[in-house]
């Protein structure tokens, strides 16, 4: 089969012929139809410090996918060949205290498809049947291919009660934009999205009914005054990983504000913990998706009017991966979906 392989410990990714994965008794084999390119894949492409210490080489990459089940392990009795699925890319063990309590997303031994385990940028991918998520007919393959990042957005946006609340989303990357759309969908009052990239802010305005603010040129407080927000944001969704964005968020929260942090900073950085203490702000880290509550809620919202399709700004063939990765690295697109 064709697969995008991190074949060598250096910058790049290569389209190679690889054997179709063999499945174990509790696995399924999926014919991949569409995949999404993630920021993580760009880190692996660039072979940065994180990738060098995380990713075994050679490895088929990619973890955002949708496709069709073509083979079932002999112990799998709750899925069928021909079923359309996406899948949770975090593969958990069943022996940790968290897993045995049903909190699979807190399993400390989690491994990632396309990061530590063979991935989905390929004609076929093997995943544990446990990780497969059947797709309703109303969710097509390209939407199925971006459920992983939409799940990050949903997990973050639903970390705190946001109905009727004023929400600040810092970072209008694909996940920030989808998080803002979810906040709007579940009934937040004002949803303000910040970025420093005008293209990304323009896209945010096209995907959801939000107030985009370019913090490189506009004053956030002036926007809040215009919206009639007197005391600050009730909930913050940090989706950039930028130290300046977290500083600005903490500065503009209400007393007792709640912040969900998804953005991953490139390196440790100092911030004003005193403000967090005196303002009694709650900080909550968010990683991945809740298994499988996030998946359930995300599919339910997609079936009841949540529309984030416009966050997909490019649809390309897998063989055009070089151009697709160059575009993804530039940071001006929304989601880029590859067809296999
Ligand atoms: P992205 O890099 O495409 O978007 C980040 C955006 O933040 C960019 O548009 C950038 O211009 C903007 N930004 C930079 N400085 C800013 C500032 N001062 N104020 C506001 N915005 C600023 O990323 P993405 O793919 O949308 O992912 C969002 C973040 O979530 C990334 O940091 C990513 O690494 C992280 N992530 C975390 C998880 C998790 O499980 N915790 C999963 C996936 C992605
Ligand atoms: Zn991803």
- Encode pLDDT of 60-118 as tens digits: 999 999 999 999 999 999 999 999 999 999 999 999 999 999 999 999 999 999 999 99
Which residue has its alpha carbon closest to ligand 1 atom 30? Answer: 263
- Going from the Cα of 18 to the center of ligand 1, the distance in angstroms, rounded, reads 32
Calculate how far, in angstroms, residue 173's C-alpha sits from the geometric centre of ligand 1: 6
Please give the span between the terminal C-alpha atoms of the chain, in angstroms, as a whole number: 11
| pLDDT at res. 204 | 98
DSSP 167-210: EEEE--SHHHHHHHHHHHHTT-S-EEEEES-HHHHHHHHHHSS-
Whether the complex's predicted ipTM is more than 0.90 is answered with yes
Pocket test residue of 36, 37, 38, 39 for ligand 1, highest count of atoms within 8 A of CB: 39
> What is residue 152's predicted lDDT score, i.e. its pLDDT?
98
Residue 177 near ligand 1, beta carbon < 6 Å: no
Position 154 scores a pLDDT of 98
CB 289 within 8 A of CB 2: no
User: What pLDDT, on the 0 to 100 scale, is given for residue 43?
Assistant: 95
Residue 52: what pLDDT?
96
CB neighbour list of residue 318: distance below 8 Å, 6 or more residues apart? 2, 4, 15, 35, 121, 338, 339, 340
Question: Which residues form the catalytic set?
Answer: 40, 43
User: How confident is the model at residue 170, as a pLDDT?
Assistant: 98
Substitution site in 241, 267, 313 for ligand 1 pocket (most atoms within 8 Å of beta carbon): 241
Residue 316 CB: number of other CB atoms within 10 A? 15
Structure tokens at 189: 């009052």
Query: Residue 122's pLDDT is what?
Result: 98
263 CB less than 6 Å from ligand 1? yes
Tell me how far the alpha carbon of residue 240 lies from the centroid of ligand 1, in angstroms. Answer: 3
Q: Tell the residue number behind the tokens 């929304």, with chain if given.
A: 334
Q: Extract the residue ranges of the chain whose pLDDT is less than 70.
A: none
Q: What is the torsion angle, in degrees rounded to the nearest 10, for the CA atoms of residue 103, residue 108, residue 114 and residue 119?
A: -60
* Angle between helix 198-207 and 174-185 (nearest 10): 30
| The pLDDT of residue 231 | 95
Exposure of 185 in the CB half-sphere (CA atoms within 13 A): 23
Count H helices and E strands in the chain, helices first: 12, 18
Question: 172 CB under 6 A from ligand 1?
Answer: yes
Q: Tell me what pLDDT residue 51 has.
A: 96
pTM reported for the whole predicted model: 0.98
Q: What is the pLDDT of residues 213-228, one digit of tens each?
A: 999 999 999 999 999 9
């Amino acid at each position: 089969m064709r697969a995008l392989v991190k074949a060598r410990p250096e910058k790049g990714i290569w389209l190679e012929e690889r054997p179709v994965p063999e499945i174990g008794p509790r696995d399924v084999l999926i014919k991949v139809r569409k995949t999404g390119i993630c920021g993580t894949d760009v880190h692996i492409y660039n072979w940065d410090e994180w990738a060098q210490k995380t990713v075994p080489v050679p490895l088929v990459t990619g973890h955002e996918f949708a496709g069709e089940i073509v083979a079932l392990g002999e112990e799998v009795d709750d899925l069928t060949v021909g079923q359309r699925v996406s899948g949770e890319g975090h593969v958990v063990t069943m022996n940790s205290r968290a897993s045995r309590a049903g909190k699979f997303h807190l399993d400390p031994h989690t491994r990632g498809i396309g990061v530590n385990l063979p991935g989905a940028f390929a004609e076929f991918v093997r995943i544990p049947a446990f990780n497969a998520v059947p797709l309703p007919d109303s969710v097509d393959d390209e939407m199925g291919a971006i459920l992983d990042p939409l799940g990050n957005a949903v997990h973050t946006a639903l970390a705190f009660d946001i109905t009727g609340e004023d929400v600040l989303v810092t970072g209008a990357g694909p996940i920030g934009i989808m998080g803002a759309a979810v906040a709007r969908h579940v009934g937040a009052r004002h949803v303000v999205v910040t970025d420093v990239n005008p293209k990304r802010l323009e896209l945010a305005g096209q995907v959801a009914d939000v107030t985009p603010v370019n913090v490189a040129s506009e004053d956030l407080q002036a926007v809040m005054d215009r919206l009639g927000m007197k005391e600050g944001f009730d909930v913050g969704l940090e989706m950039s990983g930028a130290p300046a964005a977290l500083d600005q968020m903490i500065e503009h929260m209400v007393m007792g504000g709640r912040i969900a942090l998804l953005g991953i900073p490139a390196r440790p950085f100092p911030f004003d913990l005193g403000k967090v203490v005196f303002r009694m702000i709650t900080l909550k880290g968010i990683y991945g998706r809740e298994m499988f509550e996030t998946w359930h809620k995300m599919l339910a919202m997609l079936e009841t009017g949540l529309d984030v399709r416009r966050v997909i700004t490019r649809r390309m063939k897998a063989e055009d991966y070089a151009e697709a990765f160059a575009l993804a690295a530039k940071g001006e697109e929304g989601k880029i979906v590859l067809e296999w």
